[in-house]
Amino acid sequence: MTAVAKKQIDTLVKVQQIEIEAAKLNAYLKKLPARISSLEQQLEEFIQSVEDDEAAIEGFNKQYRALEADVQLNLSKIQKSQEKLRSVKTNKEYQSSLKEIDDIQAANSKLEDEMLELLEKIETAEAAIKDRRQHYAEIVDESNRQKESIERDAARHEENLVELESRRVAIAAQLDAGLLKLFRQVKAKQGDLVAIVAVQDAVCQGCNMNIPPQVYNELQRCDSLKYCPSCFRIIYWQDQDERSE
């Protein structure tokens, strides 16, 4: 059994705490790019929806103006036909001109119905886009503000991570190389980064199993490295006083 100083165990626990903290930071940082791209995507969809609806409204207005021009053209045709009506010589010509006027009027009435339908479409589309138009700048600003906030958050966490790493290196330098190697081996086998755990009242804090009395007695002497017989983590004795620290 390796004799292991209490101070070495304390140092190892500190290293582990830093590594767990760093892993949490890394996990948090890993999620940030997805949050940023989700924000960007939402904004893009919003802008696209406004552009699409504006384009649709513009299209309706264009159709409306085209119909309006057709109606005007028909009205001048009607006027010409009415002038012609005054100078016709035969009844046949008269009837034919009247029919011409009727036909153009019928066509115009159809065009006017289409114009009314378009006006309704424009009104509906304008109502649908009103809120988005009104809050457009706010929504774009808010999205950019959130993105910047995430980026600042990321930068802050990156700094913390660098700081943690330099602290970890400094503290780990105080450790016996053999002990650190053992710690790495145990850690590699554990899925949760926890390779060294306290034993309180003969219970392993890693797996909550009882430590056999003889191992527990030896553990309290703090003169050798012990492993939990259930989860195989490195264990150390933690008495009542230390727990309240």
Q: Where does this chain bind Zn ion (CB under 5 A)?
A: 204, 206-207, 228, 230-231
Structure tokens at 46: 């919003």
Q: Which lies closer to Zn ion via its Cβ, residue 158 or residue 201? A: 201
- For 131, list phi and psi in degrees, rounded to 5: -60, -45
Please tell me the chain's helix, strand, coil percentages from 3-state DSSP, rounded to the nearest 5.
Answer: 75, 5, 20
Partners of 20 in the β-ladder:
none
To the nearest whole angstrom, how small is the minimum distance from the Cβ of residue 153 to Zn ion? 36
Q: Which lies closer to Zn ion via its Cβ, residue 185 or residue 230? A: 230
Given a contact cutoff of 8 angstroms between Cβ atoms, the answer to whether 228 and 203 are in contact is no
To the nearest whole angstrom, how small is the minimum distance from the Cβ of residue 229 to Zn ion? 8
Q: Which lies closer to Zn ion via its Cβ, residue 114 or residue 218? A: 218
To the nearest whole angstrom, how small is the minimum distance from the Cβ of residue 149 to Zn ion? 42
Query: What CA–CA distance (Å, rounded) separates 6 from 45?
Result: 59
**E strands, the chain, in order:** 196-200, 203-204, 226-227, 234-237
To the nearest whole angstrom, how small is the minimum distance from the Cβ of residue 211 to Zn ion? 8
| CA angle (5, 6, 7) in 5-degree steps | 90
> 226-227 and 203-204 as β-strands: parallel, antiparallel, unpaired?
unpaired
To the nearest whole angstrom, how small is the minimum distance from the Cβ of residue 207 to Zn ion? 3
To the nearest whole angstrom, how small is the minimum distance from the Cβ of residue 24 to Zn ion? 22
Given a contact cutoff of 8 angstroms between Cβ atoms, the answer to whether 53 and 121 are in contact is no
Q: Which lies closer to Zn ion via its Cβ, residue 96 or residue 190? A: 190
**Amino acid letter, residue 59:** G
